[in-house]
Amino acid sequence: MEALIQLGVLLVLVSLGFFVGRIAEKRHYSSIIRREQEQLGRPTTAARTVMGDDRPVGRSELVMGSVVISVDYFKRLLAGLRNIFGGRVQAYETLVDRARREAMLRLLESCPEADQIINLRLETSSIFKGRQKQVGSVEVLAYGTAVYFQSPLQ
Amino acid sequence: MEFKPAYPEDNNNVSHNNPLREFVVLLTGVLLVCVAVFVVSGWLVDRAVLWISPKMEAQIFTALSPAVKDSVGQRSSGEDVLQQLVDGLGSCIDVGYPVKVELVTTETANALALPGGRIIVFSGILDKIQSENGLAFVLAHELAHFKHRDHLSGMGRGIVLTAMTAFLTGSDSGLTRLVTPAVSLGTASYSRSREARADSLALRALHCRYGHVGGATEFFRAMQNEERGRGIASYFASHPEAVERIQQLEVLQRSQGYTTEAVTSLPERLMQK
């Protein structure tokens, strides 16, 4: 009986994780894609100098964007199974991908007036380790330099 | 250099395989491995148990589990009666070493065979049973476990199961929860077959001791009233359902041509608590 209850609880958790996680991921991706297309016009690079522009730089500032995203129960279990056999942990791919892109978007959205973002860096860290040091959620921090050119009138 | 914004068509940082498929494939793999390990180690345990002589067993387990009541002076009169019953059955089921009975006063109605030749009888059982024959059957059942060395293989399998669970818990806790039910399903079915085997030997012993098998199903009939409708849980149970056990005993009784006669009532001394 005890084993049955355990199995039941697990099934609920897994299906909750699977369905809710799937819906959340779909929604997040559609939001990411829409916002990325909105932000597409501005050069955002990892280069240390301003690119493709001869205008003098008016000012520059440090900009950051960070996000913490967690995997659902289903994916955590799937990754656990994958850990036994080895191979690409596909369950975690969307987690990291979403986190990177969301952090970038937050950075870009924090400086709507900037002309370019240069010196862009991304840092990832797992900030929650569940029991047995499983990866639960990751934080991605994006930081860079927002460059504002001098307007011709100045 | 001119800046031309473009948006990539595909996201090739993410795999587009079906995660459910991956899950099913991997889980099946893990379960197969676990079942295989369990079956093989169970088989090895059963083999190993045959190598443990009664003497060795007594040495190991008297050291491990000190007796609840050790000195003879503390033994109650009820225990003496039970001991006489067990000794009487000894000629019908030769366990190969002395078996000691202990009576524990509690409401639980059950009896256990512990390694080292100890039978623990929980006094609740005395309320469920009306006759000496019924009690003798329960004791014979425990003796049969000793005879088949079920107490050792049960324990050995328990150790294997614990080791396996610990191994899996080491890698991932959620996994253990997935695998444990499957393994316990296997253990339970194994245990049920052992119980059935012990029942049939106990019936033979009862016939050998009393010349008839009256009272054999007494305890199960009492338990039957308590466990109505176990449903799916019966697959996980370590003991067969009482109804099933009664049926099996009756089938065996008919095939062996055992008769049922009047039963002897429980000894007075046992009833005084």
Of B270, B264, B130, nearest to B209 (Cα)?
Answer: B264
A45: Cβ contacts below 8 Å, ≥ 6 apart:
A51, A116, A117, A118, A120
Of A2, A98, A77, A142, nearest to B20 (Cα)?
Answer: A77
Helices (H) and strands (E) in chain B, counts: 10, 3
Can you give the pLDDT at residue B263?
78
Chain centre distance of CA A41: 20
Q: What's the number of CA atoms in the CB half-sphere (13 Å) around residue B23? A: 15
Instruction: Give tens-digit pLDDT for B16-64.
Output: 888 899 999 998 988 888 788 878 888 888 888 878 777 777 777 766 6
Of B147, B125, B9, B17, nearest to B78 (Cα)?
Answer: B125
User: Using CA atoms, how far apart are residues B30 and A25, in angstroms rounded to an integer?
Assistant: 28
Sheet of B111-114: strand order equals: B100-104, B118-122, B111-114
CB A67 within 8 A of CB A102: yes
* Res B162 pLDDT > 70: yes
Of B190, B188, B200, nearest to B258 (Cα)?
Answer: B200
Task: Give B26's contacts in chain A (Cβ within 8 Å).
Answer: 78, 81-82, 84-85
Tokens coding B204:
């033979």
Q: Per the confidence metrics, is the pTM higher than 0.80?
A: no
Residues belonging to chain B with any Cβ–Cβ distance to chain A shorter than 8 Å: 1-3, 5-7, 11, 13-15, 17, 19-20, 22-23, 26-27, 29-30, 169-175, 177-178, 180-181, 184-185, 232-233, 236
Task: Give A82's contacts in chain B (Cβ within 8 Å).
Answer: 22, 26
Instruction: Give tens-digit pLDDT for B191-247.
Output: 888 888 888 888 888 888 888 888 888 888 887 777 655 566 666 677 777 788 888
CB B121 within 8 A of CB B140: no
Task: Give B185's contacts in chain A (Cβ within 8 Å).
Answer: 3
User: Using CA atoms, how far apart are residues B29 and A78, in angstroms rounded to an integer?
Assistant: 13
User: Using CA atoms, how far apart are residues B254 and B249, in angstroms rounded to an integer?
Assistant: 9
Can you give the pLDDT at residue B92?
83
Can you give the pLDDT at residue B246?
86
In chain A, where are the structural domains located?
Answer: 2-149
DSSP type of residue B100: E
Of all residues in chain B, the one with the smallest CA distance to A76 is B174
Q: Which residue has the higher pLDDT, B176 or B196?
A: B196
ipTM for the predicted complex comes to 0.79
Fold of A2-149: Translation Initiation Factor IF3 (3.30.110)
User: Using CA atoms, how far apart are residues A52 and A48, in angstroms rounded to an integer?
Assistant: 13
CB contact under 8 A, A74 and B19: yes
